Structure 1
């Protein structure tokens, strides 16, 4: 999945305005809301009510009209910036280009982006995902990403996407526990983006289950995926779920038709232009038959 966040949030702009004025969170919020609550607003962990937002802006002499005009301008710029960053990171990840990911981190460290710390952490997470089993993991990065997931109070699209991106940093049982909550909450959603994240999550879980030679959850995961519709933008994830489904089936019955289906999917992935990914699938298949 991607690392895109759609636009600058109210909390992020409030933080920017506060820092411009050289105020602490306590001074800026000034008992309008508690400091702990306001801190979570800046971190996008709580939504602020319209009444409290207006009061805080008036207290700090920030015109409401100017604030939302600035929010709109920065959101448009940030949206384009995030799309560009995502494209570079995903291209590097799918080509297993660790050098390019490290270069992106270096560029982010030099940038003036207000949320570059979060961006750097996420790119480091993708770098961690490319490590082979024998490589030393960066426990600090992995734990920081886990904390990011659990510090988002509600199971929403942001939390689900972050979890989906870095599922391989959790043990399988923890993954399934979080996934069950997500499936129970969102399986009936008609929102395309939520459906896409769920499918990506299910594909990742099937992959991790086979890696760990644990087939206890496969039927549940496949059945859950079949409750989600097939839309053009879901084809890749549906294809991957199909691959893991037939590979799991081959594990139990050694039916050559199942194996041939897996080989056909690999061939189609390569023909579609994802030759590196197809080769990774081929390697995965050979390691688990």
Structure 2
């Protein structure tokens, strides 16, 4: 069974037309090409369709055994589970992932979700850090890893890595949405970490906040931009802005 055939089977079991099943994600004619194996579906679109129709990603994948999904598939699936606070699904994705480094990162995400970072193995921390010591150039995989493991670094070391990201991705309007999303997550995470320090470095706060503000105003990063405004308003005791945004974030 192909992914397209499984999607068709799920769609028909729900009694939905192609337009209803993929509403707002992909065109119904393109879905028909996917169902008949003429075209392939992008990972983010597959995840979005399953989520929109309340279908389990893990159950969907069960029929495919050891099929070699792309690394991006596991990264995006893990991110979706983490954002949904679904630690059970996150754990299953980590177990299924064939890439050992990505598996370690997902284990870190699981520990973070369950407030168990102090129990995360030190040798795993070292393994993650080694990746960035040896890295020659940033790419989406490195950005994804970094966005999820920033807590393992001291603030001084983190500052250097964030500077590298901001320097190497200084023209965000030119990047694909996937990259912009990762940059938004990194800048928001860094902003939160800056504001959690005992001695807050306002220069770093400003740097992170400015970078986040300068990212393109696109729907995919609306949450990160809004959350950034919110936490800065909390820091500045701007209660009017805090109350206004709190209603949106609920």
Pairwise TM-score range, normalised by the shorter structure: 0.5 to 0.7
Match of 1:93 in 2: 82
1:142 shift after superposition:
1.9
Helix, strand or coil at the partner of 1:218: helix
The structural deviation recorded for 1:156 is: 3.0
Aligned 1:46-125 pairs, distance under 5 A: 78-79=68-69, 82-83=72-73, 85-86=74-75, 88-108=77-97, 115-125=98-108
Which one of 147, 160, 184 corresponds to residue 199 of structure 1? Answer: 184
Contact map agreement 2:125 2:152 (CA 8 A) in 1: yes
Equivalent position to 1:237, from 224, 227, 249: 224
Q: Does residue 188 in structure 1 map to residue 171 in structure 2?
A: yes
Q: 1:88 to 1:154 in 2, by over 3 A?
A: closer
The equivalences for 1:194-233 within 5 A come to 194-216=179-201, 217-233=204-220
Aligned residues: 183
What's the offset of the Cα at 1:205? Answer: 0.5
Unaligned runs of 5+ in 1: 1-72, 109-114, 251-257, 271-289
* Pick aligned residue for 2:134 from 151, 161, 164: 151
TM-superposed deviation, 1:138: 2.1
Return closer, same or farther for 1:132/1:187 CA change in 2, 3 Å cut-off. same
Q: CA deviation at 1:168?
A: 1.0
CA 100–264 in structure 1, closer or farther in 2 if over 3 Å, else same = same
In 1, Cα distance between the equivalents of 2:80 and 2:220? Answer: 18
CA contact (8 A) 2:108 2:117 kept: no
Q: 1:265-276 alignment to 2 at 5 Å?
A: 265-270=245-250
Secondary structure class of the residue paired with 1:155: coil
After TM superposition, give the deviation of residue 91 of structure 1 in Å: 4.3
Q: CA deviation at 1:107?
A: 4.3
Q: Do the aligned residues in 2 keep the contact of 1:206 with 1:221 (CA within 8 Å)?
A: yes
CA distance in 2, matches of 1:98, 1:144: 23
Contact (CA 8 Å) 2:104, 2:124: kept in 1 or not? yes
Q: CA deviation at 1:228?
A: 2.1
Q: Report the CA distance between 1:187 and its aligned residue.
A: 1.5
Change (3 A) 1:186 1:244: same
| TM-align CA RMSD | 3.0
Q: 1:179 to 1:105 in 2, by over 3 A?
A: closer
RCO (CA 8 Å, sep 6+): is it higher in 1 or 2? 1
Does 2:245 align with 1:261? Answer: no
Higher alpha-carbon deviation: 126-135 or 212-221? 126-135
Compared CA separation, residues 133 and 215, structure 1 to 2 (3 A): farther
The Cα shift of 1:200 comes to: 1.3
Match in the other structure for 1:69:
none
* Aligned twin of 2:123: 140
Counterpart contact for 2:71–2:99, Cα < 8 Å: no
Q: CA deviation at 1:145?
A: 1.6
**TM-score normalised to structure 1 length:** 0.54
Q: Which has the larger radius of gyration?
A: 1
